[in-house]
Structure 1
């Protein structure tokens, strides 16, 4: 049985990306899934001065260890102005300072969701490039546009084409693990 770490790139208590991650995690039955709510992980804005004065928080070290101990990651990133949120970028900045290889050789199901018609694809593309640069081994993609029209709490993805694409992405990811 493999271990999968699942989280959204958002620290919002109402994150549609966290809802997508929770739904996706509920579909993974044959592996152990650790669901992490990033709203519980506040990190200060990265700066070299802060790092020199305070070092790395225990929370950051624990998250890095969870990432490195996982066989695969399910990540759904949110988008602010066609880029990942400042929170997620800051999170990656801290992780990469702690250990540049924090995600090396990891298999990832990278998703994005947004209320808009593009489904957070701008942030998705930026994050995919970023994670590849840090050594992610395999990245399977899925994007969910128009979240509130295509997703329902308790039911999941309601659009049949998107539901099929999501199921395929999950199956492809799990086949890699």
Structure 2
């Protein structure tokens, strides 16, 4: 099984990338590819830019990466209660190629933040809209207080309750 892991964040030290990578690594016998959202930087989407540029090659590449995967693990950063602008832009461009961005793939949706909210607001928005973009959401999990619940040295969750929940979710893939 080929699992695509990505963080909906452009931070070079993204805690969401760490969480997505860890979660994808829990999928038994999986070949994991970790995407860096910074590799898909494009102009801010607008209808005018679309008329001028058409569909950027990076958007086509992002769509192709999703198409090549058997399953997707994505972890959302929350910026002011919503998607990070970098992810929203990539998603907007890609959705103009085909609104079925997730192409019917099995998806695990995660989110985390340093605070107690665990980016739950953006996770709720993502899981709520996922069916419109052809995602088969197998489960979702918000990880609050990342630095209290994730061992940075080992690169893994250290909260037994969260570990158990995450393992049950990724087992659905």
| TMscore range, shorter length | over 0.9
State the aligned residue count.
172
**Runs of 4+ in structure 1 over 4 Å off:** none
Q: Does structure 2 retain, via aligned residues, the 8 Å contact 1:72–1:107?
A: yes
Aligned residue for 1:145?
144
Equivalents in 1 of 2:138, 2:128: separation in Å? 10
Against the structure 1 CA distance between its residues 9 and 155, is the aligned structure 2 distance closer, same or farther, given a 3 Å change threshold? closer
* SS of corresponding position for 1:162: helix
Q: How many Å apart are 1:20 and its aligned residue?
A: 0.5
User: Is structure 2 residue 170 aligned with structure 1 residue 170?
Assistant: yes
Aligned residue for 1:158?
158
Q: TM-score, normalised by structure 1?
A: 0.91
Equivalents in 1 of 2:65, 2:40: separation in Å? 14
Residues 79-120 of structure 1: CA deviation (Å, up to 9, x unaligned): 012211122222211111111122131110100011111110
Q: Does structure 1 retain, via aligned residues, the 8 Å contact 2:72–2:107?
A: yes
The unaligned stretches of length 5 or more in structure 2 are none
CA RMSD of aligned residues (A): 1.4
Aligned residue for 1:115?
114
Q: Pick which of 79-88 and 12-21 moved more.
A: 79-88
User: Is structure 2 residue 125 aligned with structure 1 residue 129?
Assistant: no
Equivalents in 2 of 1:106, 1:31: separation in Å? 15
Equivalents in 2 of 1:25, 1:138: separation in Å? 15
Aligned residue for 1:30?
29
Q: Does structure 2 retain, via aligned residues, the 8 Å contact 1:46–1:93?
A: yes
Against the structure 1 CA distance between its residues 139 and 157, is the aligned structure 2 distance closer, same or farther, given a 3 Å change threshold? same
Q: How many Å apart are 1:73 and its aligned residue?
A: 0.6
Q: Pick which of 5-14 and 38-47 moved more.
A: 38-47
Write out aligned runs for 1:5-24 (5 A).
5-24=4-23
* SS of corresponding position for 1:4: strand
Equivalents in 1 of 2:138, 2:163: separation in Å? 19
Equivalents in 1 of 2:93, 2:128: separation in Å? 17
Q: How many Å apart are 1:155 and its aligned residue?
A: 4.4
The unaligned stretches of length 5 or more in structure 1 are none
